[in-house]
Amino acid sequence: MATLKDIGIELGLSVATVSRALNGFPEVNARTRDRVRQTADRLGYRPNRIAQRLVTGRSGMVGMIARIQPDMSSDMIFFEMLTGLTAALAARDTDLVFAVDQSDEPVLPYQRLLERGILDGFILNAPVPGDPRVTWLKARGVPFVVHGQDQVQVDYPFYGIDNRAVMVDSVDLLAALGHRRIAFLNGELRLAFANDRLAAFRNAMAAEGLSVPDHFIASDDPSENYGYGRGLAMLSGRLGPRPTAIVCGSTLTAAGVLRAARDLSLNVPGDLSVMAHDDALPKHRATNFSPALTVTRAPMRDACVPLANHLVDHIDGVAAAQLQTLIRADVIVRNSTGPVPEEGKDPWHSTQ
Amino acid sequence: MATLKDIGIELGLSVATVSRALNGFPEVNARTRDRVRQTADRLGYRPNRIAQRLVTGRSGMVGMIARIQPDMSSDMIFFEMLTGLTAALAARDTDLVFAVDQSDEPVLPYQRLLERGILDGFILNAPVPGDPRVTWLKARGVPFVVHGQDQVQVDYPFYGIDNRAVMVDSVDLLAALGHRRIAFLNGELRLAFANDRLAAFRNAMAAEGLSVPDHFIASDDPSENYGYGRGLAMLSGRLGPRPTAIVCGSTLTAAGVLRAARDLSLNVPGDLSVMAHDDALPKHRATNFSPALTVTRAPMRDACVPLANHLVDHIDGVAAAQLQTLIRADVIVRNSTGPVPEEGKDPWHSTQ
DNA sequence: ACTTTGTTCCAAAACGTTTTGAGTTCTGTA
DNA sequence: TACAGAACTCAAAACGTTTTGGAACAAAGT
């Protein structure tokens, strides 16, 4: 490993001059700079991050921590983000330290990693309302960026989708088709985004003058089984009046609902409209559904580059207020949504 | 962040003494050591990895690199390993730097990360025969450990399953049940383990005096679709004589084969025996199959702790020869294997 | 000739740790 | 009392980088 000293000796220059030459400082002769650059290239010089960090306090490394869940289902999403973020960070010459959280104390792994003295900042995912990690990191002035927000009004850098808009768009679309009994299979309420969506759903329904009976709301970790089970329960009518439309928090859940509808011989969209929010994970493609799924769409992948940039910019000193991005999901109407069935003509009345 | 100097000032000691006290050197007074330890705890002192690395050349950080594939299917396995390894490394006070390989030059990301001067070693997964990463890292004396081996005889630390034994066990089990037409749905031949298995399969078959027609062998990235497609092709008979038993490289592939058998109204194990190698990923449980799958079983998770230990031990100076573990997979007989159907009584002759 | 200004470079300090070589203070023995 | 040896502690160097505070020199202005 060539060092600044090696280059200096080779050229009869001091390390100081070599350092300035390579870092583009103005007070070094253009010819000298060229000579330094050339020998640096020839010797394959790369600055030692360790030494850089020791003196500048910057290491060019950030951390990301995964919660290990007994159920690994949602972790595919995490991995998707992890690889995308790592690639995006590489473009900003930043490396990523990965750790896992096995304790039930959420800030512990962050503290442990921070105390190593090797990190410039963190990427936080899956925030919960009033996330303790956020308050902890903020308290000690550690830069971080959040995928999403832990509350509506925040003062840290983040990138996320407008969950309120997602629900308004979904409810409005279905209401415009005449639906009045709209159910919502939400994600885990523990998570901030699911909280936001639930509140937004209720507001949007109220704005349309529609009521939301308790059994029209469910929330759980998204899975096909969850969608099937809750879908079947709602559509069987044993919980109360049946919905004519179901909004799902994820396409995986929607897949379950579609299976439930199939098992009940319900036609989608004739008897039942189904839509979902689509994170556009490479595995579950909403177009491959039958019928093709109407969705609000915001690819997870799209978050990686802005998240990486926001964090690195913030570490570089850009104010948090400049680094807050809330994007609006696209509404993509496909074949799983349609006009509400005429009253008295829905399959339950006609067959039963 | 408390430093050695802080502790030294507090106690009126030099940083040298504080350092020795904390690192358990013998030439420091027991009372002094206690006092140092206490104030270190009180001040929440944690050694600065950066400074440590600069002077010792050790950082307590290792690297792992994921190949980003357009198809993310096999990456679930990688993520499973990644989290397990990270946890196992944490137990050895070692952190993990994660990077992704987007180029088609396999050593490039390793070089890039190494040149940062922050890593003590690497964990390599999915070796290919004569893996270029192995030769490159070996050439510059960088410690590493491999999950598996890139060839039969190696001189580096590794942990892997005995793929030869897996195939011998599988073939012997089926041969003992009277099967003579045994097919093999292998993994990607690009990978070393699949290479080893194919050779071992051929040897084991030859040892039993059984021939292996070309159409009894297939190899591809494991997936349900692959198992279904190749299974259907083999069992339809349009490629040649039909197998009475199929060995699958993964349970995912076996799931596809079982579906193909179902579609052809073949009874398993009455008409067809199916077995697979089971990496025991949390998602696909072989016991949940119907019929429950006979497998050679070696949980991926089991590899994490030994891999982490091998690497850290190797970095600590333990010779590679001491750090080579080849474990034998368990053979678990369940309900998907049975005696070969009597000649002339198999469903193709009776129904057709 | 003397000062000023600008350009180009350098020596040295700093970051926090480990480690070397050299004291300094105790203890026990002659 | 003197001395050897053990026990304990310290100052300083080192790792590779950035950054501070000049220094040397030339060109330009007075």
Q: How far is CA B54 from CA A112, A332, B57, B64, in A?
A: 20, 54, 6, 22
Please report, for the domain that includes residue B238, its CATH number: 3.40.50.2300
Average pLDDT taken over every residue of chain A: 92
Same domain, B76 and B218: no
In a domain, B321, yes or no: yes
Average pLDDT taken over every residue of chain B: 92
Which residues 270-329 in chain B show a CB within 8 A of chain A? 282-283
Q: Of A325, A343, A313, whose CA–CA distance to A143 is shortest?
A: A313
Give residue A324's domain range. Answer: 61-161+301-328
3-class SS at A295? strand
Q: How far is CA B190 from CA A276, B131, B159, B163, in A?
A: 39, 11, 20, 15
CA A147 from chain center: how many Å? 5
Query: 């897996």: which residue's tokens?
Result: B166
Give the model's pLDDT for residue A220: 95
Same domain, A217 and A340: yes
Same domain, B342 and B243: yes
Same domain, B26 and B124: no
Same domain, A246 and A170: yes
Distance between CA atoms of A301 and B94, rounded to whole angstroms?
A: 29
Number of domains in chain B: 3
CB neighbourhood size of A91 (10 A): 11
- What residues contact residue A313 under an 8 Å CB cut-off, 6+ apart? A157, A322, A323
Same domain, B203 and B283: yes
Phi and psi at residue B212, to the nearest 5°: -125, 95
pLDDT per residue as tens digits for the range B276-323 = 999 998 777 777 898 999 999 999 999 999 999 999 999 999 999 999
Give the model's pLDDT for residue A237: 93
Same domain, A253 and A129: no
In a domain, B52, yes or no: no
pLDDT per residue as tens digits for the range A89-112 = 999 999 999 999 988 899 999 998
What mean pLDDT comes out for the span B9-19?
92
- What residues contact residue A231 under an 8 Å CB cut-off, 6+ apart? A185, A246, A256, A257, A259, A260, A261
What one-character DSSP code corresponds to residue A137?
A: H
Residues from chain B that touch A88, judged by Cβ atoms under 8 A, are none
Please report, for the domain that includes residue A33, its CATH number: 1.10.260.40
- Chain B residue with minimum CA distance to A52: B50
Distance between CA atoms of B249 and A45, rounded to whole angstroms?
A: 45
| Helical segments of B27-74, H only | 30-43, 49-56
Same domain, B336 and B205: yes
Q: Tokens representing B214?
A: 């070309």
| Whether B61 and A118 lie within 8 Å, measured CB to CB | yes
pLDDT above 90 coverage of chain B, percent: 80
Q: Which nucleotide is nearest to B56 (CA to C1')?
A: C18
In a domain, B34, yes or no: yes
- Chain A residue with minimum CA distance to B61: A97
Give the model's pLDDT for residue B77: 83
Distance between CA atoms of A341 and B307, rounded to whole angstroms?
A: 60
Give the model's pLDDT for residue B325: 97
**Predicted confidence band of residue B1 (pLDDT cuts 50, 70, 90):** confident
In a domain, B213, yes or no: yes
Local mean pLDDT, 10-residue blocks, chain A (352 residues): 91 93 90 94 91 90 88 73 95 95 91 90 96 96 96 96 98 98 97 97 98 97 94 95 97 96 96 96 79 96 97 95 97 97 64 38
In a domain, B54, yes or no: no
Distance between CA atoms of A217 and A230, rounded to whole angstroms?
A: 10
Give the model's pLDDT for residue A277: 97
In a domain, B67, yes or no: yes
Give the model's pLDDT for residue B351: 39
Q: For chain B, percent helix, then strand, then coil, each to nearest 5?
A: 45, 15, 40
What one-character DSSP code corresponds to residue B151?
A: S
Residues from chain B that touch A91, judged by Cβ atoms under 8 A, are none
Indicate if the pLDDT at residue B148 is higher than 70.
Answer: yes
Give the type of residue at B217: I
Out of B80, B86, B282, whose CB is closest to A99? Answer: B86
Same domain, B336 and B324: no
| Whether A72 and B282 lie within 8 Å, measured CB to CB | yes
pLDDT per residue as tens digits for the range B236-274 = 999 999 999 999 999 999 999 999 999 999 999 999 999
- For testing the chain A interface, which of B71, B116, B279, B305 should be mutated: the one with the most A CBs within 10 Å? B116
For residue A49, say whether its CB is under 7 Å from any atom of strand D.
Answer: no
Distance between CA atoms of B94 and A3, rounded to whole angstroms?
A: 26
Same domain, B77 and B112: yes
Residues from chain A that touch B90, judged by Cβ atoms under 8 A, are 99-100
| Whether A50 and B117 lie within 8 Å, measured CB to CB | yes
In a domain, A56, yes or no: no
Give the model's pLDDT for residue B69: 72
CA angle B103, B107, B113 (to 5 degrees): 90
Indicate if the pLDDT at residue B345 is higher than 70.
Answer: no
pLDDT per residue as tens digits for the range B71-127 = 655 577 888 899 999 999 999 999 999 999 988 899 999 998 998 889 999 999 999
Instruction: Answer for the pair B185, B247: CB distance below 8 angstroms, yes or no.
Output: yes
Same domain, A31 and A156: no
Same domain, A189 and A338: yes
Q: Of B94, B156, B159, B162, whose CA–CA distance to B318 is shortest?
A: B156
Distance between CA atoms of B285 and B263, rounded to whole angstroms?
A: 22
In a domain, A35, yes or no: yes
Instruction: Answer for the pair A177, A339: CB distance below 8 angstroms, yes or no.
Output: yes
CA dihedral A35, A39, A42, A44 (to 10 degrees): -130
Burial class of A109 by CB neighbour count within 10 A (0 to 12, 13 to 18, 19+): buried
Instruction: Answer for the pair A274, A170: CB distance below 8 angstroms, yes or no.
Output: no
